Amino acid sequence: MFPTKTIALSVGLVISLAGCASNRPDAGTRVHNALNQPQFKYVSVSEDRTAGVVTLKGHVAAEADKDQAAAVAQANAPRQIISNQIAVEPPNDRGASRVNADVDKAIGENLDAALIQNRLHKNVSYKVNNSVVTLTGEVHTQASRDEAQQIAAAVPNVSQVVNELQVKNQPATSQP
């Protein structure tokens, strides 16, 4: 009779612990809730659990607000890569978004040329958003993955590289 009660109590404990774990908000939700402040009114948060990346998008009025958003996000998602794609658009500066788009276009053109020059363009894709380059695709070696990240980081005006390139059993990484 004793073993049956022990087993029943053990099963009940496991079920209750599993229920508690599922009540904890995911990293994206924690970051979103932490950024519920007036200066982050136009900031959105998304999470790619597979890649381990939390992405911040939108705009803020000052570079200090962008940096603060990244710090808040990192504090609330310490095991995630924070891709800070927030644009800095000072109030009453209508040309800021056009400048940001032009900078992104130039980064893309320079990165494309560098990837072609280094023969990585067939396996490496990228997106540029507010000076953040996100690398995707599949490469054959860790050395190729590292090389693509270094190439992207060396392009003028790149503020961050989020490396989602896949090499068997390798997670995403970030380089400021």
User: Do the first three CATH levels of 25-92 and 94-176 match, i.e. the same topology?
Assistant: yes
Q: What DSSP line would sit under 53-73, residue for residue?
A: EEEEEEEESSHHHHHHHHHHH
CA dist 98 and 90 (Å) reads: 13
Q: What confidence tens digit (pLDDT) does each residue in 2-29 have?
A: 554 444 444 444 444 444 445 667 989 9
Retrieve residue 154's tokens. 């060396």
Contacts of 59 (CB under 8 A, 6+ apart): 42, 43, 86, 87, 88, 89, 97
Tell me the mean pLDDT in the region 41-60: 94
CATH number of the structural domain 94-176 = 3.30.1340.30
Q: Residues 73-109: pLDDT tens digits?
A: 999 999 999 999 999 998 888 788 888 899 999 999 9
Domain boundaries, the chain: 25-92, 94-176
Amino acid at 97: S
Q: For 122, list phi and psi in degrees, rounded to 5.
A: -75, -30
Average pLDDT, the chain: 86
Is the pTM here over 0.95, yes or no? no
Q: Which CATH architecture group holds 25-92?
A: 2-Layer Sandwich (3.30)
